[in-house]
Structure formats: C-alpha cells, structure tokens
Amino acid sequence: MQAPGNPDETIFDKILAGQIPAAIVHEDDHVLAFKDIQPQAKVHVLVIPKLRATSLHDLKDRPVAQIGAFMAGVARVAEKLGLAQGGYRVVLNTGPDAGQTVFYVHAHILGGEPLGRFGA
C-alpha cells in the first residue's frame, strides 16, 4: 500500500485502506468489490485487485497467478451479485484514450438488465 499523502494515491487506494467509505459487496484475500458511485446499469460494481497496479497494461508482466486471481475474483463477484445466469459485461478501461479516470486497475461489472449491443 502507498503511504498516505502520496500524490499517486488514487481514490481506490483510499477505499482499499478504509480511509473513505464505499458500498462494499465483496472482499477476499485477492480482490475488493464495491458499487460504482455513478452506476451505468442496474448493477454496476467495480472490482480491484488488492495488489496495486495502474491499469490492465501494468499487469502484463505480473505473475500469471496474480492476474488469474483478479479475473477469477471478477467472476466470483458477478456470481455473488446473481449475474451468472443472465450474464454481464466486464469493462477494463485502460489509459486515457479509453477514458480511464482512476489509475488503479479496476474491472467494471455491468448487468442486472439487458445491456444492448456493445458500442451501439
């Protein structure tokens, strides 16, 4: 974890450290999941790995087990949210062109209703 006051510290570092509140829906050894503050679907939850990375791109050289634990965590959270049967969309905005605004890697889980075709 980064030191308090670190200029690179993001809002998600603070949520993970319990320094600011969030509507937490799941926590285990590998991931923390909480509701997005501006939901874009009936269900909109963000999943972050507990081991910090800036973006998906930053994960490319990490141990496969670490990346796998993050991805399995995303699926476990979706199941816990009751989305396994109906399905769900996972979005990982990576870098400025993708619209990433919080530079702590996070997966958006969107679902709970038909989402329409991606990009339409």
**Interface residues with ligand 5GP (CB under 6 A)?**
11, 22, 34-38, 46, 93, 99-102
106 is catalytic: yes
Which CB sits closer to ligand 5GP, 63 or 95? 95
Residue 118: CB minimum distance to ligand 5GP, A: 15
**First vs last Cα of the chain: how many Å apart?**
39
* Annotated active-site residue in 30, 44, 106, 108: 106
DSSP 75: H
Contacts of 32 by beta carbon, 8 Å cutoff, 6+ apart: 15, 16, 24, 26, 47, 48, 50
Contact 89, 111 (CB under 8 A): yes
Residue 90: CB minimum distance to ligand 5GP, A: 12
Residue 79: CB minimum distance to ligand 5GP, A: 21
Which CB sits closer to ligand 5GP, 30 or 106? 106
> Helix, strand, or coil here: 113?
coil
Catalytic residues: 106
